[in-house]
Chain A
Amino acid sequence: MSDLNPVIFQSICSNLDTGILALDNHHRLTFFNKWVADRLSLDTENILNKNIFDIFPEIKNTRLDSSINDAIKMGLPAIVSNIFNHSPFPLVKDTNNSEKIFQNINIIPVKQDSESYVIIQINDVSASIQREKALEEQARKRKKIETELRTTLEKLNHASAIKSDFLASMSHEIRTPMNGIVGLSQLLKKTHLNSTQEKYLNTIDSSVNLLLTVINDILDFSKLESGKLLLHKTNFNFNNIISHILDILDTEIKQKNLEVSVEIDNELYPQYLGDENRLKQIFINLISNAIKFTANGNISIKVQLLNQQTNHSNIKVTISDNGIGIEESIIPSLFEKFTQADSSTTRQYGGTGLGLAICKNLVVLMSGKIGVESTPGKGSDFWFEIELEKDSNTTTENPDNTQNAKISEQVFSGSILLVDDVMVNRLVAKSMLEELGFDVITAENGQEAVDLACSQTFKLILMDCQMPVMDGFDATRKIREMEDQTHIPIIALTALAMKGDDKKCFNAGMDGYITKPYKTEDLIAGIQEWL
């Protein structure tokens, strides 16, 4: 650089966004720029040519001091950061703001005509320090929240485990007496009743069915929520599903004088692979909702083929009604648990509010989607879309139905050992079995069952699981140990209806599994294969 005009030099220095101080080799301040003057919290008038340590006694014996000396004596440049050296110069934001400035300082030795000078450059790093501090604060807060979340999660997991245990035991405790009610009311129907008694009995029957649905809903929902519900693939066709559902709901439809139309796309494949029971559950929930919220009018059930692929079909099912309809604002929360369109409808129409949440979860589990279009006062269209795998081993008739029809007319014979510790349960099962034509021998615990199985021959054993003295699992194991060539079918009759309970039965050596409460048809379905 050639000789610089002092005016230009002054102007450059005045406009720098950095502080500049210059010292001679006797530590005298020979120059400071406007930036420094604006920020110095002391009188700047007479500081020129004064010793820097007299002007700023606070820097004596600091790293700044030794760095200045090294620069003068040995020409060593230095950086003096705010990290280790807190704000060495008494600089403030401005004359109105006495907040101290955080400083990063460079010390640059300069030699001219064998004279040593030192340039001190000061940068204001307050902004980045403040950012640092904010970051630090943020990190601290985040850590605190993380800890809190972890604790909450632990608590939740614990609560969830308690809930599962509670549901399992509740399920068992409720199913056992329900078995008595369902069975006995069925048996009672077959006795001579007057019309009033028959009416009362029908009411008991429908109340029990309702209660059973509620229990199953709650159990299903807790399984869905915990991800414990798995889909089981079977082959099925839509005609059978819908006619079965309409049979079940026949009484309610007739009571309300509703007209039901069914439209099934001809292009649908004859059989699909999917979880038939869970699909039925979705249908039954949507159709019974349509019935529940339609005072009089029509319900239509439509199954449409949306898209045909080589191995799959995309299918849309729509259940329409001309019932009370749903306000638009409520629709988004409709598929959440415990929601009904209007909280007052719980009282008017009944229900747990779990039905649609279960439907949504099931449809999502099947990788599909579910939704509703509705106009208040005019009705609702509930729909779901799923992709189903085509069943290439298609048979045209449903073997189940024809077999069921035959069996219900069939007369059975032979001797059955019935094991249950609860008197009511024994009474129900015994009456049902005797009516079907069986001879029934009863035992009250596993030990009695083992003894009887030793001394007599039975066609089949119906075994309760939880019993005093010896439970059903141990009794089954004992019986299996005694067998050599023979294999007597042992079917569990149990109120244990949670996931994994069936596995326990099979592991103990049982052949089948019937859950309480059951009806005569369920009993036949559960044992027919082994006769």
Chain B
Amino acid sequence: MGNPPVLSELEADLLNEIFNLGVGNAAASLSQMVKQEIKLSVPELNFFSIEELSETLGHNQLLSCVSQTITGAFNAQSMVIFPDKDSLEIVGKLLGENVSEESLAELQDEAMSEIGNIVLNACIGSLSESFASAFNVDLPEYVRSTPADLIEKKKLDGESLILFIRIELTLSESKITGYLAFLMGVESLSKLHNILKETLNKLL
């Protein structure tokens, strides 16, 4: 396993700000789309190993996950993750009370895919604008599984590290915790670190 990059305080602040901007835009798009007020914030940003991710999310926790592969200035598997039951709550709240539980379960995949797509696109867009560098991005893919299965399905090697970002989604009086995860190889991580440095240099 590679070591997580040691970010300076400024670098960490910048990365945090980029994601804050991204989720802020995502919240605006979501609010407009469902005509409800949705708030998103990024309270915490970490680098995790795959084991640590599994521990944090709970080994047997069923997760609802939307992922998009990005390639470009660095490569990553970007993901939006919510505990499955919470994702059902989100979809339920967004669709209103007239939808039965059966239908909700049927709509969950599709609805979460779009929500995840909006959040990820906003974050990728924010990274892209801040770094003045375009990414090639794949269409979103929806997976429901435990953390172990998720990593298996994504065929990640043991060297990968995860840029792990806790997000808080506030929606009609409920606060729901979800996660953004950017799974990256060692090389991509150091590329990200370099880009952060360069960007700061340009700004300062």
Contact = CB atoms under 8 A, between A and B. Distances in A.
A80 B136 CA distance: 19
B203 interface: no
B125 A81 contact: no
Interface string B95-115: 100011011001100110110
B134 A83 contact: no
Contacts of B95: 83
B107 A79 contact: no
Interface stretch (B10-18, B41-49, B137-145, B183-191): B137-145
B103 A132 contact: yes
Nearest to A116: B134
A75 interface: yes
B106 A135 contact: yes
Given A74-B134, A79-B140, A108-B139, A139 B103 contact: yes
Does more than half of chain B's interface fall in helix, strand or loop, or is it mixed?
A: helix
B117 interface: yes
A402 B37 CA distance: 93
B10 to A, nearest CB: 25
A135 B102 contact: yes
A135 B99 CA distance: 11
B33 A74 contact: no
A77 B137 CA distance: 6
Contact of A104 (B29, B110, B121): B110
B121 A70 contact: yes
A478 to B, nearest CB: 63
A136 B114 contact: no
A83 B114 contact: yes
A111 B107 CA distance: 32
A76 interface: yes
A79 B100 contact: no
B124 interface: yes
Contacts of B200: none
Contact of A136 (B33, B103, B113): B103
Given A74-B125, A74-B134, A77-B139, A83 B29 contact: no
Contacts, number: 71
B94 interface: yes
A75 B139 CA distance: 11
A372 interface: no
Contacts of A84: 33-34, 94, 111, 114
Contacts of A77: 68, 117, 121, 137-140
B128 A74 contact: yes
A140 B128 CA distance: 47
Contacts of B117: 77-79
B29 A66 contact: yes
A121 to B, nearest CB: 10
Given A74-B128, A84-B111, A79 B102 contact: no
Interface residues of B, number: 31
B74 interface: no
Given A74-B125, A84-B33, A79 B113 contact: yes
Given A66-B29, A70-B125, A80 B114 contact: yes
B33 A63 contact: yes
A70 B111 CA distance: 20
Nearest to B127: A74
A124 to B, nearest CB: 14
Contacts of B68: 77
A83 B100 CA distance: 14
Contacts of A106: 139
Does more than half of chain A's interface fall in helix, strand or loop, or is it mixed?
A: mixed
Contacts of A109: 137
A139 B110 contact: no
B135 A75 contact: yes
A395 interface: no
Nearest to A125: B110
B98 to A, nearest CB: 8
Contacts of A111: 136
Interface string B31-43: 0111000000000
B121 A76 contact: yes
A136 B110 contact: no
Interface string B151-191: 00000000000000000000000000000000000000000
A255 to B, nearest CB: 68
B64 to A, nearest CB: 15
Contacts of B102: 135-136, 139
Contacts of B118: 78
Nearest to B129: A74
B139 A132 contact: no
Contact of B110 (A78, A83, A140): A83
Contacts of B129: 74
Given A66-B29, A70-B121, A136-B100, A81 B134 contact: no
A37 B31 CA distance: 33
Given A83-B95, A84-B114, A76 B125 contact: yes
B134 A135 contact: no
A104 B111 CA distance: 11
Contacts of B139: 77, 79, 106, 108
Contacts of A136: 99-100, 102-103
A453 B147 CA distance: 83
B54 to A, nearest CB: 28
Interface in A96-114: 104, 106, 108-109, 111
Interface string A76-96: 111111011100000000000
A80 B29 CA distance: 12
Given A77-B139, A83-B107, A106-B139, A140 B100 contact: yes
B33 A85 contact: yes
A66 B29 CA distance: 9
Given A74-B129, A77-B137, A81-B110, 19 more contacts: A70-B125, A75-B137, A76-B137, A77-B68, A77-B121, A78-B117, A78-B118, A79-B113, A81-B113, A83-B111, A84-B33, A85-B33, A104-B110, A108-B139, A109-B137, A132-B107, A135-B102, A135-B103, A136-B102
20 contacts: A63-B32, A66-B29, A74-B124, A75-B137, A76-B121, A76-B125, A79-B140, A81-B110, A81-B113, A83-B110, A83-B111, A84-B34, A106-B139, A108-B139, A135-B100, A135-B102, A136-B99, A136-B100, A139-B103, A140-B100
The 5 closest A-B pairs by CB, nearest first: A139-B100, A76-B121, A81-B114, A77-B139, A83-B111
Interface of A: 63, 66, 70, 74-81, 83-85, 104, 106, 108-109, 111, 132, 135-136, 139-140
